[in-house]
């Protein structure tokens, strides 16, 4: 990455707050060069073409739609678009907004060079370790909030004030009938109804000729659906498609597809019929989806087998050229993928860490030279690497 990042400010970001920040932005240890301030669409086009900008900054709610701008910029190699979300400066506070913007700019600079580097690294790699977090499935369309949530859960939103599918998973429903009415629908729309997302299919296309292994916190089986070899997927946090004893009295897991679909069909007024409430066949306790949310999470034989395969895979990496793809991994459970991937990258001399994360694309100091990071959509990046 070059030492200096050239930024073009599109007209609409020139509000009072950005004007206040302008001197700071401009003087940031010479790393940023504000190449131009575009006053209108024609200005912007001319400036981007003439001034070799790395980044164009624009606010999301502008008259020229970001999509139009993105299309225009896509034709110019090496220029990245940073779209500032509506109200970004007010919401974050000026200093935080600046820091956020700086990170985004750094991440977006030299986009095409970075894509090329990643493509090369994957081509040369003798092994690829994939870490899939929630952001990966979100990129595949399995978004847990917004329209996808409100359209599927209107009745639950009205009755319980639920806000999204992530936090709803922790909602203390007063009865088992209500809990399973929610959970069956959650499981059906996230685990059983969706086909494999495009980004998962592209990802497989990218690595299928390679030796690979997947570790994921996602419980939606998307890797398996896309065709990744089952013996190479370690789903650490469980699987929506399995039931377990709520008190973990034994470590057998039970497929729940038929029961789930029946619960969805037979529920009304946010309740399933009582006779469908699952009970542990050993102790008679209630049951839970096999998801790690308390100390009763069941790790069955298959889980332990995959866990040791993962350890063996990592131990065998040695000084081979390897690529770690960290995809959409945030800070909910960083000890599962994020921190170990940093350690592995530091430990192995020929490791390249590729981090794609919309919210946390920052690169650690230790692995600065070995990391290539992006804050764009995962699907967009993976597709672009496939097409190179």
Q: Which residues bind Zn ion (CB under 5 A)?
A: 245, 249, 280, 282-283, 285
DSSP secondary-structure letter at 85?
Answer: P
Residue 349: phi and psi, rounded to 5, are -65, -30
Tokens of 19: 């004007």
Report CA torsion sign: 108, 111, 114, 118: positive
Task: Output 146 or 284, the one with its CB closest to Zn ion.
Answer: 284
Task: Output 245 or 373, the one with its CB closest to Zn ion.
Answer: 245
Q: How far is the CB of 304 from Zn ion (least distance, A)?
A: 19
Q: How far is the CB of 79 from Zn ion (least distance, A)?
A: 59
DSSP secondary-structure letter at 275?
Answer: G
Q: How far is the CB of 282 from Zn ion (least distance, A)?
A: 5
Residue pair 129/321 in contact by the 8 Å Cβ criterion: no
Residue pair 187/289 in contact by the 8 Å Cβ criterion: yes
Question: How wide is the angle at C-alpha 4 spanned by C-alphas 54 and 359, nearest 5°?
Answer: 65
Q: How far is the CB of 301 from Zn ion (least distance, A)?
A: 17
Task: Output 299 or 362, the one with its CB closest to Zn ion.
Answer: 299
DSSP secondary-structure letter at 268?
Answer: B
Task: Output 280 or 354, the one with its CB closest to Zn ion.
Answer: 280
Helix (H, G, I), strand (E, B), or coil: what is residue 185?
A: helix
Residues making up the chain, counted from first to last: 388
DSSP secondary-structure letter at 243?
Answer: E
In sequence order, what are the beta bridge partners of 287? 245
Which residue from 269, 284, 255, 288 is spatially nearest to 178, judged by alpha carbons?
Answer: 269
Task: Output 192 or 254, the one with its CB closest to Zn ion.
Answer: 254
Q: Is 193 exposed, middle or buried (0-12, 13-18, 19+ CB in 10 A)?
A: exposed
Task: Output 5 or 245, the one with its CB closest to Zn ion.
Answer: 245
Q: How far is the CB of 288 from Zn ion (least distance, A)?
A: 10
Cα separation, 79 vs 8, whole angstroms: 10
Q: How far is the CB of 303 from Zn ion (least distance, A)?
A: 17
Q: How far is the CB of 248 from Zn ion (least distance, A)?
A: 7
Task: Output 214 or 280, the one with its CB closest to Zn ion.
Answer: 280
Residues 6+ apart with CB under 8 A from 283: 245, 247, 249, 250
Q: Rg of the chain's alpha carbons, rounded to an integer? A: 23
Q: How far is the CB of 211 from Zn ion (least distance, A)?
A: 39
Report CA torsion sign: 107, 108, 113, 117: positive
Task: Output 135 or 278, the one with its CB closest to Zn ion.
Answer: 278
Residue pair 370/353 in contact by the 8 Å Cβ criterion: yes
Cα separation, 70 vs 77, whole angstroms: 12
Q: How far is the CB of 283 from Zn ion (least distance, A)?
A: 3
Q: How far is the CB of 286 from Zn ion (least distance, A)?
A: 9
């Amino acid at each position: 990455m070059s030492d200096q990042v050239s930024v073009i400010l599109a007209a609409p970001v020139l509000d009072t707050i950005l004007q206040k920040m302008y001197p700071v932005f401009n003087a940031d240890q010479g790393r940023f060069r504000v190449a131009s301030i575009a006053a209108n669409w024609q200005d912007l086009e001319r400036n981007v073409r003439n001034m070799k900008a790395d980044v164009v900054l624009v606010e999301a709610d502008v008259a020229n739609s970001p999509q139009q701008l993105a299309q225009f910029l896509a034709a110019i190699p090496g220029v990245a678009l940073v779209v500032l979300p509506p109200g970004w400066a007010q919401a974050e506070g000026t200093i935080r907004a600046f820091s956020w913007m700086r990170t985004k700019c750094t991440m977006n600079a030299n986009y095409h060079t970075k894509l090329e580097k990643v493509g090369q690294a994957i081509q040369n790699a003798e092994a690829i370790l994939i870490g899939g977090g929630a952001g990966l499935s979100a990129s595949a369309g399995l978004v847990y909030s917004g329209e996808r949530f409100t359209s599927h859960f209107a009745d639950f939103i009205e009755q319980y004030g639920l806000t999204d599918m992530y936090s709803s998973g922790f909602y203390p429903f007063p009865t088992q009938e209500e809990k399973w009415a929610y959970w069956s629908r959650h499981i059906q729309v996230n685990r059983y109804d969706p086909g494999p997302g495009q980004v998962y299919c592209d990802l497989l296309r990218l690595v299928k000729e390679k030796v690979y292994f997947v570790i994921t916190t996602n419980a939606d089986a998307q890797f398996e659906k896309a065709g990744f070899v089952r013996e190479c997927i370690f789903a650490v946090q469980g699987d929506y498609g399995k039931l377990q004893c709520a008190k973990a009295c034994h470590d057998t897991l039970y497929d729940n597809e038929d029961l789930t679909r029946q619960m969805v069909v037979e529920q009304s007024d946010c309740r399933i019929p009582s006779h469908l409430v699952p009970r542990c066949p050993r102790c008679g306790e209630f049951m839970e989806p096999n998801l790690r949310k308390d100390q009763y999470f069941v790790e069955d034989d298959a889980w332990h087998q995959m866990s040791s395969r993962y350890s063996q895979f990592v131990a065998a990496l040695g000084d081979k050229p390897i690529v770690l793809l960290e995809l959409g991994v945030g800070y909910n459970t960083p000890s599962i993928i994020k921190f170990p991937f940093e350690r592995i990258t530091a430990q192995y001399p020929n490791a390249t860490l590729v981090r794609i994360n919309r919210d946390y694309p920052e690169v650690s100091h230790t692995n600065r030279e070995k990391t290539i990071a992006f804050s764009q959509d995962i699907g967009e990046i993976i597709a672009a690497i496939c097409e190179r």
